[in-house]
Amino acid sequence: MRRVAITGIGVISPLGNSAEAAFEAARGGHSGVRLMDAPFTPRLVAPIAAIAEFDGAGHFDPLKLRMMDRVSQFAVVAAKQALADAHTEWAQLDRSRVGVFVGTGMGGTLSNDDGYKTLYAEGSDRIKPFTVLAGMHNAPAAWIGLELGLIGPNLTYSTACSSSAVAIGEAWLRVASGALDLAVTGGSEAPLSFGSMKAWEALHTVANVDADAPATSCKPFSKNRSGMVLGEGSAMLVLEAWDSAVARGAVIQGELLGYGLTTDADHLTRPSVAGQAAAMSAALQSAGLEATAIEAINAHGTGTLANDAVETAAIKAVFGVRAYQVPISATKAMHGHLLGAAGALECALSLIAMQHHVLLPTLHLRSPDPECDLDYVPNTARSQVPVRVMLSNSFAFGGTNAVLVLGAGHKP
């Protein structure tokens, strides 16, 4: 297996529309969570979300915009950012050996929701002609391939909230094995439609709105946590063989060292300590590392009662008493839960944090939960903390657990 370098990062998110902007906002403890201002807002129980300030009209012509859901717009722009960041040498690339691996949990839900509204609420017998093309789950990956002329494998993964971590892990396997020279990989999600938000409310997983400070509504690992806040956006990475990256003088943003993938096969929505612990252990085995090598963890940390307690117990199961010495960051309080894109965004933020020797904060953690008693880097980022190897956890409804092992790169 070849070493795999991460040479480019692109981000569209509620914290900013570049990787560095999103990182600086996260380091400063800023939140992209806010009250929504949409026609359907009065009908929501919890009218809050983490919204990306993004206008596709600045990136695509009107015809493409008619064909592209917001989820695909995010993905293409983030992918182009990542490739520009990697300073990809297109003239020297065999584009049949460049793959696209994208995760999304809900695909083009805005386009599908709009079609249902036209049919059922408005009573029309005609919907937009590009509804299928905009709404299909593989549209983000397909558009990346179209826009960049990439004719290698083009794959979409939909494993709910672990989708993009799975996509990154599967891309790593292809590059590490020598099957591909380069991969564009990550995730994209745009779930802030009326139908989607009502569906998530029906599951009772959405946070109660903090009336005095809506931006603080998501409180991972806190005793008074009440759920997650939906977010939107995309994060994309460029993976390439380490030797090739070094030979062309690329700035190495980080290294993907390992990947663990397990399935709970226990319950559709209830997380499993055994399943999550098995994924972390599998990731370590894949990387050829012992648990003692891990110096920090990016937690899945959704802010739900069940997830945070189970993830804490799973970390203890893998790390034993050392779990209390490993700092853990949960950033969803700032950027919301991007569902299928969450793993990619958190991976991107973690990589940049490692470059800057920063541990990102877990915001709004002021009421400790006795069940969640580890070091979650509460409320304020920590500086001057070198981290060479960390885990990034992504767990999902359906029981698909994906864990990435990240190695430090070189600060630009």
Give me the mean pLDDT over the 139-160 stretch: 98
User: Mean pLDDT, to the nearest integer, of 328-332?
Assistant: 98
Whether 316 shows a pLDDT value over 80: the answer reads: yes
Query: In angstroms, rounded to a whole number, what is the distance separating the alpha carbons of residues 88 and 357?
Result: 26
- Total residue count of the chain as it appears in this document: 412
Question: Measuring CA to CA, which residue among 331, 66, 347, 52 is closest to residue 187?
Answer: 347
Q: How far is CA 90 from CA 6, 82, 336, in A?
A: 17, 14, 35
Q: Looking at 137, 161, 218, 372, which residue is catalytic?
A: 161
Give residue limits of the domains in the chain. Answer: 4-247, 255-407
Mean pLDDT throughout 46-60? 97
> Which one is catalytic: 137, 300, 335, 364?
300
- Is the model's pLDDT at 412 over the cut of 50? no
Mean of the per-residue pLDDT values for the chain?
Answer: 96
What average pLDDT does the segment 221-244 reach? Answer: 97
pLDDT at 245: 95
- Span 70-99, pLDDT tens digits: 999 999 999 999 999 999 988 888 999 999
- The predicted pLDDT at position 411 comes to 45
| Tens digits of residue pLDDT in 112-148 | 999 999 999 999 999 999 999 999 999 999 999 999 9
Predicted pLDDT of residue 410 = 63
300 is catalytic: yes
Edge-to-edge strands, sheet with 182-189: 154-157, 98-103, 182-189, 233-241, 4-12, 254-263, 400-408, 389-394, 296-298, 328-329
Side-chain half-sphere of 400: how many Cα atoms within 13 Å? 18
How many CA atoms are closer than 13 Å to the CA of 283, on its beta-carbon side? 37
Name the pLDDT band for 409 (thresholds 50, 70, 90).
confident
Mean pLDDT of 263-286: 97
**What value does the mean pLDDT take over residues 299-319?**
98
Q: What is the pLDDT of residues 355-364, one digit of tens each?
A: 999 999 999 9
Helices 139-148 and 70-85 meet at what angle, rounded to 10?
Answer: 40
Does the fold of domain 255-407 match that of domain 4-247? yes
State how far the Cα of 327 lies from the Cα of 383, in Å rounded to an integer.
Answer: 13
Q: How far are the Cα atoms of 101, 149, 173, 266 from residue 286, in angstroms, in the given order?
A: 20, 32, 10, 24
Name the percent of the chain lying above pLDDT 70. Answer: 99
Per-residue pLDDT at 104 exceeds 50? yes
Q: What architecture is domain 4-247?
A: 3-Layer(aba) Sandwich (3.40)
- The percentage of residues in the chain with a pLDDT greater than 90, rounded to a whole number, is 97
Residue 39 CA to chain centroid, in angstroms?
28
Average the pLDDT over 379-386 and give the result: 98
Residue 322 reports pLDDT greater than 70: yes
Q: Summarize the confidence of residues 161-170 as an average pLDDT.
A: 98
Q: Which candidate in 337, 347, 364, 372 is catalytic?
A: 337
Would residue 161 show up in a list of annotated catalytic residues for this protein?
Answer: yes
- Record: fold of 255-407: Peroxisomal Thiolase; Chain A, domain 1 (3.40.47)
Round to whole Å and give the CA distance between 247 and 215: 45
pLDDT of residue 237: 98
Is the Cα dihedral 32, 379, 220, 311 positive or negative?
Answer: positive
